[in-house]
Amino acid sequence: MLQLIETICFENGILHRIPLHQERMMRARSHFFKCTDTIYLAEILEIPEILKGNKVKCRVSYSRTIDEIEYENYVPKEIEKLQCVYDDSISYDHKLKNRDALRLLLDKRGTAQEVIIVKNGWITDASYANVVLRKKNKWYTPEFPLLPGTRRAQYLDNGILSVAQIRPSDLCQYDELRLINAMLSMEESATIPIDHILL
């Protein structure tokens, strides 16, 4: 059976961006299963006491109903170098549990720790995160992500990010790149120099 996931950040006693995760889960359940009922994430997530002082990754696997909920301490990946990989047929517009297509692209990273996926000539995402780039004192994110993340949406709503159409050849116009996702903010993300991106 097809399964989807939501990854939700618990930190400082707060479940972050619950309305955005809720909305995305409702859209996916409606799209794949024609469900019209609402599952309230805030009511079903119970952080184990032993983890409450930490930054916790809450991973909700679901289909028509909730299939599994997992909790673990969050440990960010160490990323120093990125490899651009090119795939015009990749599709990941819903947060599916099956990530085989993304793993195949990640296998092409060579000496880098992570990939930047290029589709139809445009930079989209890394295999597990959205991309943000700084030009002077302004931050941008690709207009065509594979999966628009909840933190990306929050930053756009708050005016912290602007969208831009970005090709690999445009990267030289930017000063640095960072990766963001539900667990990783711009402030926490490691700075990746543009010359550490392999085209």
- Could you check whether 4-73 and 82-198 share the same CATH topology? no
Parse the chain into domains and list their residue ranges. 4-73, 82-198
Q: pLDDT band for 1, please (50, 70, 90 cuts).
A: confident
Calculate what percentage of the chain has a pLDDT beyond 90: 95
Q: Give domain 4-73's CATH architecture.
A: 2-Layer Sandwich (3.30)
Closest CA to 75 of 90, 95, 56: 56
Q: Are 42 and 60 in contact (CB under 8 A)?
A: no
Class of the CATH domain delimited by 82-198: alpha beta
Q: pLDDT band for 18, please (50, 70, 90 cuts).
A: very high
Over residues 47-72, mean pLDDT: 94
pTM value > 0.85: yes
The whole-chain average pLDDT of the chain stands at 95
Over residues 115-124, mean pLDDT: 97
